[in-house]
C-alpha cells in the first residue's frame, strides 16, 4: 500500500505527538542517570512498519526534540538524531513486515523484531554515544553505559509494545482480496 503525502504528513504529526506524550509522561527512570525505559519506541516501530522509514524518522526526530524541549534543559541533539536513525531503520522493515496487506504471523513478528533490535543497537550503542562525545565532549564510559542501557530497555519494550501494536494494526486492516467473491 502506497502512502500518499497527506497520509504521511498525518502519520508524522500524530506519531510525533504520541511519541512526545509517551516519552514525556510514561517514561520510567532507569538506574542510569538521564536514561529512561521508554515505551514510545513501540509506537515508533509501528509507524515504521506501517508507513516506512521517512515517516518514522521524522516522527522520532520531532517527538524526541519536543520531549527534550519540554524539560527545559535544551535539546540534546545527539539523542534526537539517534531517535530519528532508530525510526528510519525500523521503517525499512515495511516491505518485509507488510502490515497493511499480510497477516502479522510468527515469521513477520520475528522479522519486525530483528529490525527493531538492529535499529536500537545502531541508534543507542553507536550513533548517540559517538555524537555525545563529538558534540558535547561527554566522557565515553558514561555515554556508552547510557547507550547500552537505553538499547536494552528499548529492545525489550519495543518487543512487547511494538509487537502488540503491530498485531492490533494488522488485525484491523482489511487484507488484499478480502472483498473478492470466493
pLDDT in tens, the chain (182 residues): 578 999 999 999 999 999 999 999 999 999 999 899 999 999 999 999 999 999 999 999 999 999 999 998 899 999 999 999 999 999 999 999 999 889 999 999 999 999 999 999 999 999 999 999 999 999 999 999 999 999 999 999 999 999 999 999 999 977 566 556 65
What pLDDT does residue 175 have?
A: 59
What pLDDT does residue 151 have?
A: 98
Rg (the chain; Cα; Å):
16
Residue 108 and residue 100: Cα distance in Å, rounded? 12
Q: How far is CA 21 from CA 11, 16, 66, 91, in A?
A: 15, 9, 9, 21
What pLDDT does residue 3 have?
A: 82
What pLDDT does residue 177 have?
A: 61
CA dihedral 53, 129, 28, 33 (to 10 degrees): -170
Classify residue 100 by its DSSP letter.
T
Residue 39 and residue 154: Cα distance in Å, rounded? 7
- Domains of the chain (ranges; CATH) run 5-94+103-172 (1.10.1760.20)
Nearest-CA neighbor of 33 among 88, 73, 66, 1? 73
DSSP string, 4-32: PHHHHHHHHHHHHHHHHHHHHHS-EE-SS
Asked whether the beta carbons of 45 and 57 are under 8 A apart, the reply is: no
pTM of the model: 0.93
What pLDDT does residue 181 have?
A: 61
Cell of 131: 555524537
Percent of all residues in the chain with a pLDDT value above 70, rounded to a whole number = 95
Amino acid at each position: 500500500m502506497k502512502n500518499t503525502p497527506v497520509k504521511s504528513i498525518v502519520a508524522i504529526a500524530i506519531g510525533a505527538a504520541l511519541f512526545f506524550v509517551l516519552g514525556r509522561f510514561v517514561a520510567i527512570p532507569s538506574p542510569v542517570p538521564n536514561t529512561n525505559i521508554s515505551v514510545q519506541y513501540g509506537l515508533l516501530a509501528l509507524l515504521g512498519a506501517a508507513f516506512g522509514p521517512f515517516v518514522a524518522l521524522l516522527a522520532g526526530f520531532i517527538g524526541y526534540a519536543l520531549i527534550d524541549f519540554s524539560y527545559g534543559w535544551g535539546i540534546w541533539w545527539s539523542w534526537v538524531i539517534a531517535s530519528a536513525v532508530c525510526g528510519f531503520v525500523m521503517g525499512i522493515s515495511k516491505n518485509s513486515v507488510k502490515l497493511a496487506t499480510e497477516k502479522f504471523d510468527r515469521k513477520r513478528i520475528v522479522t519486525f523484531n530483528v529490525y527493531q533490535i538492529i535499529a536500537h543497537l545502531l541508534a543507542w550503542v553507536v550513533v548517540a554515544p559517538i555524537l555525545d562525545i563529538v558534540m558535547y565532549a561527554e566522557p565515553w564510559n558514561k555515554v556508552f553505559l547510557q547507550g547500552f542501557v537505553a538499547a536494552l530497555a528499548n529492545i525489550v519494550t519495543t518487543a512487547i509494545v511494538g509487537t502488540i501494536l503491530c498485531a492490533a494494526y494488522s488485525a484491523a486492516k482489511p487484507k488484499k482480496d478480502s472483498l473478492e467473491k470466493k
